[in-house]
Amino acid sequence: IREQYRMDFKADEEKIRQRAVALYFIDTLGIRVGNRKKEGNTSETAGCCSLRKKHLKLYKENNNQVVEFDFLCKGSIRYYNQISVEKIVYSNLQRFLKNKSDEGYVFDRLSPTHLNTYLKTFMDGLTTKVFRTYHACRIMQQELDKFTRAKRHESYKIGYCKKSIKLVAIFLNHQRAVAEKGGNKKFETSLTSAKLYYIDPRIVVAWCTKWCVPIENIYSTSQREKLLWAMTADADFKF
């Protein structure tokens, strides 16, 4: 898939170029695909296919081509990110944005249905959401694999595992609103969705088994009941 979308960066057809760049962002950033809003829907939330010109800034810095994202995603949670991109991606974005208003769609030739239908030509059942799940599992496995301190106290190991889950949640931009004094809200990273719906629980179970960490310190009773199928994973499981 990566080889193909990289070749498609230079496609003659505009729709194919847009599809290639959209998949590049979905793959590298893990952003949601983003449905277009129906007429009358005033929600300002966006995802990849519903990004507008106003959600992006393009600029060059220290010989790097930078794309700045700033938009509200699912749950009206702000997504803000600055990334360096390849020259071909940068030039394609300039091309897509040319002569568009701030409200114009970046990927005006694309829809989530088109993207998901295209992905199924590679593998049955493959959708854009699978990219988020894949990266969540990849990050979790990589972070847990870094742990080598067998003699550390149990509480340290538990904290390490939870910090690894937090890194996944940050990548997925999972946040929740927390009330502050005066009625104001602030947002903090939420671990629950990443832990239950994105990270393969066998990764965590295997790690806990290997390092003698009680799984109940990571998953609650109700969570373990939901994930019963994964609770028997052995210490050798790798994503």
Residues 43-90 pLDDT 10s? 789 999 999 999 999 999 999 999 999 999 988 899 999 999 999 999
Residue environment code for 43-75, b if the CB has 16+ CB neighbours within 10 A, otherwise e: eebbbbbbbbbebbeeeeeeeebebebebebee
Best CA proximity match to 134, nearest among 167, 89, 170, 168: 168
The answer to whether the beta carbons of residues 21 and 96 sit under 8 Å apart is yes
Q: How high is the pLDDT of residue 217? A: 97
Residues contacting 67, CB < 8 A, separation 6+: 56, 57, 58, 82, 83, 85, 89, 90, 93
Residue 189's DSSP bridge partners are: 175
Mean pLDDT of 183-197: 82
What angle, 0 to 180 degrees and rounded to 10, lies between the N-to-C axes of helices 14-29 and 87-97?
Answer: 120
Question: Is-same-fold flag (2-119; 128-230)?
Answer: no
Mean pLDDT of 206-225: 96
Q: How high is the pLDDT of residue 189? A: 86
CATH of domain 128-230: 1.10.132.10
Active-site residue (options: 5, 24, 79, 198)? 198
User: Given 3.40.50.1000, 3.40.50.920, 3.90.15.10, 3.30.70.120, which CATH number is that of 2-119?
Assistant: 3.90.15.10
**Phi and psi angles of residue 3, each rounded to the nearest 5 degrees, phi first:** -60, -40
| Chain CA centroid to CA 48, Å | 11
Q: Where are the domains of the chain?
A: 2-119, 128-230
Grade residue 3 by pLDDT with cuts at 50, 70 and 90.
Answer: very high
* Eight-class DSSP state of 105: B
**Phi and psi angles of residue 229, each rounded to the nearest 5 degrees, phi first:** -60, -25
* Eight-class DSSP state of 104: S
CA distance 135 to 20: 19
Q: How high is the pLDDT of residue 44? A: 83
Asked about 198 being catalytic, the answer comes back as yes
